[in-house]
Amino acid sequence: MTRNERSRRLSTIRRWLRRIVYVALVTLALWTGGLIWFAAQLPRSVPQQVSTTDAIIVLTGGTGRLETGLQLLAEKRARNLFVSGVARGVDVAALLRIARRSPDDLACCISVGYHADDTAGNARETAQWMHERGFNSLHLVTANYHIPRSLLEFRRAMAAFRIIAHPVFPPQFKIESWWRFPGTSMLLAREFSKYLIAQLAIGGGRGHTGDGAT
């Protein structure tokens, strides 16, 4: 290989490296901007309107969710509560003991689902439970940082249903000045990334469905 050929090859490599770095920086800037937007959209308070629905849906996996769902049930915001994503072997009585609630007045109105292991699974499991009972409206109880992705999946599974988001505010999630808290920042970054993946999955699914529709 001549000196000129080596020089041209090195020049080509440098040019491609510059392009890769540029694309990476643009992608990082867009992702960071999206993360800031995502954090700004998260609920800071519980909706003030008093509303009733057919059911209250609690997604397991976070502090305060079950307790909030039980409180809504006690307030008669709905007559039925469904807890999605429960570990096998945990029944209604066990859930009430965990929440330090007496089973006498609530156990009759609570159902549990054991088949969901992610948010999309929660939505599918809940949709089946709702359809079996002829329900068409729900309060969706989950952590505030989980609300956007949950609504995305639930609206995909139950497009015609009325869904009222009821956020829970875990004390360890510091939404105000979140960038100052490494634990909150990491959780928020993970949740935003999962939200983007869910958006892409739903968009891809819609495109595939449209191509095959008759």
Domains in the chain, number: 2
pLDDT in tens, 145-184: 999 999 999 999 999 999 999 999 999 999 999 999 999 9
61 — pLDDT class (breaks 50, 70, 90): confident
Does the residue 182 lie in any domain?
A: no
Q: What count of other Cβ atoms lies within 10 Å of the Cβ of residue 163? A: 17
Same domain, 164 and 122: yes
Q: Between the CA of residue 127 and those of 30, 65, 122, what are the distances in Å?
A: 34, 19, 8
Q: Domain check: are 34 and 81 in the same one?
A: no
Percent of the chain with pLDDT over 70: 90
pTM of this structure = 0.83
Tens-digit pLDDT profile for residues 90-99: 877 777 776 7
What is the chain's alpha carbon radius of gyration, rounded to the nearest angstrom? 23
In a domain, 67, yes or no: yes
Is 209 inside a domain boundary? no
Same domain, 28 and 98: no
Is residue 69 domain-shared with residue 120, that is, in the same domain?
Answer: yes
Q: Is 148 domain-assigned? A: yes
Round the average pLDDT of the chain to a whole number and report it: 88
Q: Is the domain of 76 the same as that of 30?
A: no
The boundaries of the domain holding residue 68 are 55-168
